[in-house]
Structure 1
Amino acid sequence: MAEGGNWRDDSEPEWDLRQRGLLCQSYHFQSHSENASVEICIMMNWLGYGPEMRQARRDAYREIDRIMSARADGEIKRITTGSKAEGLTRSFESDLDVMHVFRNVLCIEDGVQFDILQREITVFRLSTIMCYPGHCRLILERAGIMYRVIFDALCDDEYGRSLLCSDLFVYEFTPNYNLPDLVNHDRAGPSMPSSIRGTWHVDNVLSIPCHCPSILQRWAERRRHCPSPAIVQKVVSLRAYVTPVGFKGSRYRHVEWRICFNTGENELVSRLNNTQVYIYVILKMVVKEVLKPVNKEITSYTVKNIVLWLAENNPQTLFHERSLFVWICEGLGELRTAILTKRLQYYMIPERNLMEGCGIAEEQQRTWVATITGMINDGPKLILRLPKIRSAIISHPEPLMWYSKKRVELELLELKLFNRHFQCEDENGVLNESDPIYQAIVERRCEILKDVRQRMNWEGSRVNDLFEIIKMMLS
């Protein structure tokens, strides 16, 4: 929806929102931050971040993972991670992060016996000696089924032992989705990115499951307010993974691996309450739309860890819809401290500093600290710096409600279409477009886009291409 209108920023506490306001015609943001928090929580739901929409996204990507894993003949399991798995982004809003996990390979830490494992499982031993916390090397303990990508990535460590080289490993991997217009890109960290028609971007990470009970047990034994003991045990049961990327400052990063807990973190985020989720989403918007890091000095993963620490260290009763702005400012304060000190403990392995080697220059550091300080001082007004929320406020109430309903239905159709696409493909990747369910979804999607285009034209827009409209709506 087009932006318009002006916010009054003067000595008057009451702001005129062109006779519309945030669910009322005038609002005392500074003196009524609790009421502002409630209204923003409602608006976040309209914007597609409510529990029902989050669950629909999670279900859709789990189904895609199931279909794609079944096609891999039991060798590789696909797991969607990141914001898509968390249900927090629309179809075109961010990259799709996918782990491709070997089924017949396992990494184990010292002290774990592997004699009871089936002989076809290839076993590597984690070696954390001389490695930065959260990183390791993989020493071959037993060769079972030896995939070509693993065999070609083995190297000698000069002591007669075989190491799995992370650099060789990641370059041996080429994702293949049997999709038209698929373009593979250069390596980015542990990922081999690909894109389709320049619109769908996928970060593919080939990884190996890891059994490290001592690391998970240390995490489980921490005193905490959240999550509950039952969820803690579930996270422990979900094990860890190693991904092919070493520590930036290490001389041996080409043979180092990073220990990750992707599925456990997905579970933890899914257990956050609505207010905690909205804090997470808004802080991500601050990073992306206000700070705008160029070289990933700060990422959404930084924000995720801040929110998980906040949830663990504070009573859950304090996280409610009337306290949203209090916790947004608290989260901003933690982010400011992390930037200023260049230190943020990794939630799963606190010894690892997520800001180590982040590459923040001094001038950039000063600018970001000043910007965040200004936002904290703004109180509820800080929300106006976020284009997506500001546009929603200005278009409220009737245009936003109409548009929100259209966008929600469109996104649900897009998720169903994505699933149906893979269900209707044959073994050669040829799509059966005559499938009646596939056709019905496409037709309804087209009807919605035409309705939106007509309203946009009434409001003066000149955008007519339906594909451009769907990208705008689901980004």
Structure 2
Amino acid sequence: MTKIRKISEVMDSDNATQIGEIPVQKMSESVYVWMCREIYIGTPQQVASRRDIVDIRELLRNQDEYLERSMMSGSMREGFRLLGSDVDFMIWQTNIRVIWDFSQSEFYNIHRQVLILCDSSESPPGFTLLWLPLESAGQIVLSSCVRMNGGLYISSSKYRENVCASLSPGSTIHGPCSSGTSGSIEYDFAHCFASDFWPPSAVSWIDRCHSWPPPHVVNDIVRNGCHFVAIGHKLGNHEDNEWRISFSLAEYKLVYSMNHTQFLIYGVLKLFLKEIINNGLRDEDKLLCSYHMKTAVFWAIQQNTLPLWCPQNLLAGVWVCFKLLLKWVYEGISPNFFIPENNMFLSKIHGQAQTSLFRRLYGLYEMGIALLLHSPSIRSSIIDVLCNPRLAVCTDEHTLISEVEFDVGLFVEIFTIGSQHPSDLQHCMKILHTIEQLIGSPLSQYQVVSLQKHTATTLQRTAFILHNMYTNTGVNKQVYIADKLSRHMLKLAAKFGFVSDMLYIAMYYYKTLRYREALSVIEMTKVKLAQPYLMYVHQVDTERYTEAVGGQSWSTKIRQAVAGNIELVNEICYISELLPEQQSNRQNGLPALTIPPHVLLHMLEFLSSRHVDTMRAQAALDELQVLVHHDQGLYVDNDTRDISWEILGICQQITGNIQAALYSYQQSLRQRPFHKIQIATTERIQDLHFSTPHFY
């Protein structure tokens, strides 16, 4: 076996200058370009747009009047869109605050806010007990308390169990989080507590920030305090009752302050971890995680380990971080970036596990930077240069991806990450008020276009809520005024939103029995959706799109050339025919049905035509059947096939075609249960059997 050099020699050495005859600088440029072009990582502009869209969403979501706040964290918040990544959220109550000593209580109204006091005297660095001085808190908090040392302490393990049972039904406990799936997305909800004050044990971090991050970032981080997540230290004296100090908010701000090369180094390390270090290992055997990679990058940047963080030094930066990681494993010490006394290896990486991991990492180290050839994702970009040493690599951002590629990512991001689900009038009005205030504030170009879509979405939901509120009042004047306002808001929303948003007007006209008006809007929408330059999700004719709207503002593109799926929030009635599906979707913890615009268009045309033109109704049903049966993912993707088959079955059942309806419902059950509407589908099948005793 090759003799392992002293770790000090490893840290001082640099055996990563080239692969074959190709210098590492050229390889770095090639990997930089590949990662920028990779849709799940992206260019500086793409990453900035993702972050801005998330920031706007949270600004609208976290109103001061609400008792609950949430924050997206993890790689999605940082700007990555990696396949298989969970969506992480931290959720906390604004009327509960954690303080570090009693003197901080003077900043709060103790009659309106519950104060929790930290007691770190018996906990390892980075962990604390939470003492509840007064027995005045919500039921979940009180039921999670235990008696210790003559006081009432909130048990982290009990809190996890209570939150998972009452606030996240259908989820499972995973670390400090409630984990589950929403459609095709896996999520982790960390119900936690917040402190407005920076932890005393992390004060040394402030003094350490001489070169990075810049002072304004440090001040912003310290001003926003920290959080406490429900998990204790495995080697602590009070594992079941301790809470971990979380710096998630500080961490995403640090990632935001990285330049793009530093961000991509972090991305390479995440791929390196997934595809090389942890490849083939069972979850319980994975000793290193993405958080270790991020921490290594933080330390490497702050300690000025590279003279220049630029595309030509990308792989040199990866190598520096890898050597730092190797040193940590050798020593069995991985210092937390904010509280270095908190050794993140203490509970898992020691003894034989530590020795085995070090030997494995050292074997990779001996390969030099060529070890990245073992990563399927990164290998192709390196091989391109190896096969063509004279290949010129351009790292200029504006040449990396086309206008259309950027637009696709931007609009998908706005529709998915940017979506809000207000379901009551008060909530909608608060969002509209916040939007009104934001219009006059300095916003990025991405935030402006995201805000445009938020405005359209909120107006649409307000219109239907308003109509539903006054329909059954029996007061004609109120019904008339509500109807007039609803129609005005829907028409205004169509001027701000996607082309497909016109279908909300058609739905409203159908709901209010204006069938001819609905058909008129449907006809206009059909023409717009048939335009050859239309962008729908990732589907677009690049040349025609560029010819039609190339170079124009994103605001113009949204209104003229972009279609999205239609979201029906489960707490709002849009059309009665889909109420069972909304109820089933809601019972399974999902917020809304997501329907392809072409499917909804044919459904609305069928439903409206039945009252004025039966031949047109049959033609619409035929078109819907052809679409659902034969579409190859162009207009009906895998996520929406269950609801699309369901809608076809509903329309067929209305016409009395029981055999066809039964087949469609059965097909809906065979699809991936993205919408979790099986309860509704099963009930519809049972109704078919009961209503037709001769069916067998």
TM-score band w.r.t. shorter chain: 0.7 to 0.9
Contact 2:179 2:186 in 1 (8 A): yes
Q: Deviations over 1:349-390 (max 9, x none)?
A: 00101111125783x655543443344344443332222223
1:55-84 CA-partner distances (Å, limit 9, x unpaired): 1111222233334434x9511111111111
For 2:54, the aligned partner's letter is Y
Q: Which residue number corresponds to residue 350 of structure 1?
A: 340
The counterpart of 1:369, out of the listed 326, 350, 358, is 358
Aligned partner letter, 2:241: V
- Greater shift in the superposed pair: 186-195 or 438-447: 438-447
1:203 paired to 2:188: yes
Say yes or no: does 1:334 pair with 2:357: no
**Closer, same or farther: CA 228–315 of 1 in aligned 2, 3 Å:** farther
Match of 1:5 in 2: none
Partner of 2:66: 74
Q: For residue 304 of structure 1, what is the aligned residue in structure 2?
A: 294
- Please tell me whether residue 53 in structure 1 is matched to residue 46 in structure 2: yes
SS in 1 for 2:129: strand
In 1, Cα distance between equivalents of 2:199 and 2:169 = 39
Aligned mates of 2:361, 2:402 — CA distance in 1? 30
- CA distance in 2 between partners of 1:426 and 1:244 (Å): 31
For each residue in 1:32-62, what CA deviation from the matched residue of structure 2 results, as whole angstroms up to 9, or x when unmatched?
Answer: 1112212222222112332211111112222
Moved more, 259-268 or 364-373: 364-373
Shift in Å at residue 423 of structure 1?
Answer: 5.0
- In structure 1, C-alpha distance between the alignment counterparts of 2:633 and 2:384, rounded to whole Å: 23
- Tell me the equivalent position of 1:325: 315
Q: Say which is worse superposed, 441-450 or 236-245, in terms of deviation.
A: 441-450
User: Aligned letter for 2:260?
Assistant: N
The CA deviation at 1:259 is 0.6
- SS for the counterpart of 2:71 is strand
Asked whether the equivalents of residues 183 and 194 of structure 1 are also in contact (C-alpha less than 8 Å), the reply is no
Aligned to 2:628: none
Equivalence for 1:418: 416
Encode CA deviations 1:230-253: one digit per residue, 9 max, x unaligned. 322222112111111101123421
Aligned twin of 2:233:
247
- Cα deviation for residue 302 of structure 1 reads 0.7
Matched, 1:284 2:270: yes
Alpha carbons of structure 1 residues 410 and 391: separation in structure 2 relative to 1, 3 Å: farther
Specify which of 368, 382, 398 is matched with residue 371 of structure 2.
382
Give the 3 Å change call, closer, same or farther, for CA 421–330 of structure 1 in structure 2.
closer
| Cross-structure match for 1:267 | 253
**Is the 8 Å Cα contact of residues 97 and 114 (structure 2) preserved in structure 1?**
yes
Out of 120, 124, 128, which is 2:120 matched to? 128
Q: Check if 1:138 corresponds to 2:127.
A: no
Q: State the SS of the aligned residue for 1:255.
A: coil
Moved more, 344-353 or 236-245: 236-245
Deviation digits for residues 126-156 of structure 1 (CA, Å, limit 9, x no counterpart): 1112211100001113466x22221221221
Contact 1:247 1:256 in 2 (8 A): yes
The structure-2 alpha-carbon separation of the partners of 1:39 and 1:226, relative to structure 1 and needing over 3 Å to count, comes to: same
Q: Counterpart in 1 of 2:585?
A: none
Shift, 1:310, TM fit:
0.5
**Matched residues in 1 for 2:272 and 2:74: separation?**
18
Q: Which runs of 5+ in 1 are unaligned?
A: 1-26, 453-462, 471-475
Q: TM-score, normalised by structure 1?
A: 0.77
Higher deviation after alignment, 76-85 or 183-192: 183-192
In structure 1, distance between residues paired with 2:59 and 2:252: 16
Does the CA contact (< 8 Å) of 1:60 and 1:415 recur in 2?
yes
For 2:77 and 2:97, locate their aligned partners in 1 and report how far apart those are by CA, in whole Å. 24
Matched residues in 1 for 2:259 and 2:356: separation?
Answer: 32
Alignment map for 1:81-96 (pairs within 5 Å): 81-90=73-82, 92-96=83-87
Work out whether 1:313 is the aligned partner of 2:285: no
Give the aligned residue type for 2:34: M
Aligned counterpart for 2:98 among listed residues 103, 107, 111 = 107
Task: Tell me how far apart the structure 1 counterparts of residues 22 and 382 of structure 2 sit (CA, whole Å).
Answer: 19
Instruction: Give 1:219 deviation, angstroms.
Output: 1.3
* Aligned counterparts of 2:541 and 2:45: Cα–Cα separation in 1: 24
- The 3-state SS of whatever aligns with 2:334 is coil
Q: Distance in 2 between matches of 1:141 and 1:81?
A: 30
Q: Secondary structure at the match of 2:174?
A: coil
Alpha-carbon offset, residue 255 of structure 1: 1.0
Q: Which moved more, 1:76-85 or 1:408-417?
A: 408-417
Distance 2:267 2:366 in 1: 20
1:99 and 1:206 in contact (8 A); partners too: yes
Distance in 2 (CA, whole Å) between partners of 1:416 and 1:410 is 10
Task: Pick closer, same or farther for the CA change 1:404–1:280 going to 2, 3 Å.
Answer: farther
Structure-to-structure mapping, 1:154-233, within 5 angstroms? 154-159=145-150, 161-174=151-164, 184-197=170-183, 199-210=184-195, 211-222=197-208, 224-233=210-219
Aligned residue pair count: 421
In the alignment, which residue of structure 2 is the partner of 1:16?
A: none
TM-score of the pair, normalised by structure 2: 0.54
CA distance in 2, matches of 1:445, 1:175: 42
Q: CA deviation at 1:304?
A: 0.7
Secondary structure at the counterpart of residue 411 of structure 2: helix
Q: Provide the C-alpha distance between the structure 1 equivalents of 2:210 and 2:422, rounded to a whole number of angstroms.
A: 47
Give the whole-Å Cα distance in 1 for the aligned partners of 2:77 and 2:133: 33
- Per-residue CA distance 1:215-235 (angstroms, 9 max, x = gap): 342210126431122322222
Q: Give the counterpart letter for 1:215 in structure 2.
A: S
Is the 1:449–1:469 contact (alpha carbons within 8 Å) kept by the matching residues of 2? no
Tell me how far apart the structure 1 counterparts of residues 307 and 350 of structure 2 sit (CA, whole Å): 36
Q: Which amino acid aligns with 1:291?
A: I
Tell me the secondary structure at the aligned position of residue 302 of structure 1: helix
* Number of the residue aligned with 1:448: 538
1:319 shift after superposition: 1.9
SS in 2 for 1:130: coil
Alignment CA distance shift 1:350-1:327 (3 Å)? same
Bigger relative CO (Cα 8 Å, ≥ 6 apart): 1
Q: Which has the higher helix share?
A: 2
Q: Equivalents in 2 of 1:288, 1:215: separation in Å?
A: 32
SS in structure 2 opposite 1:254?
A: coil
CA gap of 1:232–1:69, structure 2 versus 1, over 3 A, is closer
Deviation at 1:337, TM superposition (A): 2.4
Using the alignment, how far apart are the partners of 2:238 and 2:250 within structure 1?
Answer: 28
